[in-house]
């Protein structure tokens, strides 16, 4: 809870790639609804990003592009706090303290660490190992109640809770116990090429994933090539993962129920439907892309957003850090 009694939401965004319509439908669109009720912090976690090698120019560009994409999707930078993790030193500071309250064994068991060590065997650095304590610091600094993340991150939320519990147990109530906040089912968008799998930007087949910043021709082409079954009726059903997914997308974008979508396409074939889904997605992305281009062209405006965000984040997180420093026995500055 924040000092005004509002519940706090925190999420970290790795500046490692492009957002796709799965993010838009499954997360961003819903987050707009949260901005009035909750105090929301969204941090571009560039310090986490360097646990694997990054091209410096790319990292800088992507960090800015991420903020612009979030704002372009309709998240109000006045109501939400957007900031870049490396701009707010309390993260590294609390991260160190939490390192001293996290066990080697706990960190060794993290599946993301095991996966990434296997993938980057030539660079198993200490930052990769302590990634979860920095993430715990991100979350705990803001007395966060809810953390919107994908399922792959639940183990990280668990360890953040374990660390918070341990610290609270030793020193008394210091950190709010955070909870993962996973969006309702149904909004989970699947790959257009392999609709049994989640849509993912790291799919080898570029046609599997529609990016928020794809141009209209690309969007239309990807939907026309979407894999479907050999049937012909636009109806949901078992074994019809492709059509089910397209109906989900159409319904999420238009706000129609799946039944209404089926009724609208009664008697029409898969081809017409794919074109219609593509057109709806194009028209939903058009204003987002326009706003994105405007933001990226006006560096001052974007800079004002992340500078103000960093100030707000620093002020909120410093309260927690001060408390922690006092509890562990550091001398007041
Ligand atoms: N580990 C998260 C991911 O890979 C990113 C992240 C860093 C994060 N710090 C966070 C997410 C704090 C939520 C809260 O997606």
- pLDDT tens-place string over residues 200-215: 888 889 999 999 999 9
Q: Are strands 146-148 and 80-84 parallel, antiparallel or unpaired?
A: unpaired
Residue 333 lies in a domain: no
Rg, the chain, Cα only: 21
Ligand 1 atom 2: residue of nearest CA: 12
CA distances to 9, 94, 119, 128 from 159, rounded to whole Å, are: 18, 15, 22, 15
- C-alpha angle 193/251/266, rounded to 5°? 90
- 218 lies in which domain range? 206-293
Where residue 67 falls among pLDDT bands split at 50, 70, 90? very high
Give the span between the Cα atoms of 170 and 66, in whole angstroms: 38
Per-residue pLDDT at 183 exceeds 80: no
- In a shared domain, residues 172 and 251: no
Residue 1 lies in a domain: no
Distant-in-sequence, close-in-space partners of 142: CB < 8 Å, separation ≥ 6: 2, 8, 10, 41, 313, 316, 317, 320
Give the span between the Cα atoms of 8 and 319, in whole angstroms: 15
Residue 63 lies in a domain: yes
Instruction: Note the pLDDT of residue 186.
Output: 46
Phi, psi (5° rounding) for residue 279? -65, -40
Q: Which one from 201, 268, 323, 327 is the annotated catalytic residue?
A: 201
Helices of type H across the chain: 21-23, 29-31, 46-49, 56-72, 90-99, 104-108, 111-119, 126-140, 154-171, 216-224, 241-254, 258-264, 270-297, 299-328
Is 116 catalytic? The answer is: yes
- pLDDT tens-place string over residues 250-298: 999 999 999 999 999 999 999 999 999 999 999 999 999 999 999 999 9
Ligand 1 atom 8: residue of nearest CA: 12
Is 299 catalytic? The answer is: no
- In a shared domain, residues 308 and 180: yes
- Whole-number mean pLDDT of the chain? 94
- In a shared domain, residues 25 and 137: yes
Structure tokens at 309: 């965000």
Starting at the earlier edge strand, list the strands of the sheet with 80-84.
Answer: 80-84, 39-44, 8-13, 146-148, 179-181
Ligand 1 atom 10: residue of nearest CA: 12
Is 268 catalytic? The answer is: no
Residue 200 lies in a domain: no
- In a shared domain, residues 173 and 237: no
CB 179 within 8 A of CB 146: yes
- In a shared domain, residues 231 and 127: no
- In a shared domain, residues 52 and 136: yes
Please give the share of the chain, as a percent, with pLDDT higher than 70. Answer: 98
Residue 32 lies in a domain: yes
Structure tokens at 248: 């989900």
Ligand 1 contacts (CB < 6 A) are 10-12, 14, 45, 48, 135, 138-139, 147, 149, 153, 156
Residue 212 lies in a domain: yes
- In a shared domain, residues 315 and 258: no
- In a shared domain, residues 129 and 210: no
Instruction: Note the pLDDT of residue 29.
Output: 83
Per-residue pLDDT at 90 exceeds 60: yes
Residue 195 lies in a domain: no
Give the span between the Cα atoms of 211 and 226, in whole angstroms: 14
DSSP string, 292-309: HHHHHH-HHHHHHHHHHH
Per-residue pLDDT at 187 exceeds 80: no
- In a shared domain, residues 158 and 134: yes
């Amino acid at each position: 809870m924040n000092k005004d009694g509002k519940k706090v939401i925190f999420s970290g965004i790795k500046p490692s790639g492009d957002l796709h319509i799965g993010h838009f439908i499954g997360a961003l669109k819903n987050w707009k609804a949260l901005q009035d009720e909750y105090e929301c912090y969204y941090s571009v976690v560039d310090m986490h990003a360097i646990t694997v090698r990054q091209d410096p120019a790319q990292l800088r560009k992507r960090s800015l592009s991420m903020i612009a994409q979030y704002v372009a999707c309709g998240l109000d930078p006045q109501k939400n706090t957007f900031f870049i993790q490396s701009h707010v030193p309390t993260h590294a500071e609390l991260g160190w303290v939490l390192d001293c309250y996290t066990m080697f064994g706990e960190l060794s068991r993290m599946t993301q660490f095991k996966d990434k060590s296997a993938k980057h065997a030539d660079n198993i650095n200490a930052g990769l190992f302590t990634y979860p304590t920095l993430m715990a610091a991100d979350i705990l600094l803001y007395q966060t109640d809810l953390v919107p993340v994908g399922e792959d991150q639940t183990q990280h939320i668990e360890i953040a809770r374990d660390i918070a519990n341990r610290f609270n147990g030793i020193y008394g109530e210091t950190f709010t116990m955070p909870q993962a906040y996973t969006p309702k089912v149904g909004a989970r968008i699947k790959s257009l090429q392999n609709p049994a799998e989640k849509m993912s930007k790291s799919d080898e087949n570029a046609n599997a994933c529609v990016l928020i910043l794809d141009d209209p021709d690309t969007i239309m082409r990807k939907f026309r090539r979407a894999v479907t079954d050999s049937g012909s009726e636009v109806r949901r059903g078992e074994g019809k993962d492709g059509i089910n997914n397209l109906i989900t997308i159409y319904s999420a974008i238009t706000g129609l129920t799946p039944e209404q979508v089926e009724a609208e396409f009664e008697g029409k074939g898969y081809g017409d439907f794919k074109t219609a889904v593509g057109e709806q997605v194009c028209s939903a992305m058009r204003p987002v892309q326009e706003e994105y281009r405007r933001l990226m062209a006006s560096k001052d405006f974007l800079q004002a957003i992340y500078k103000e965000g960093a100030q707000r984040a620093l002020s909120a997180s410093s309260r927690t850090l001060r408390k922690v420093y006092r509890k562990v026995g550091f001398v007041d500055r």
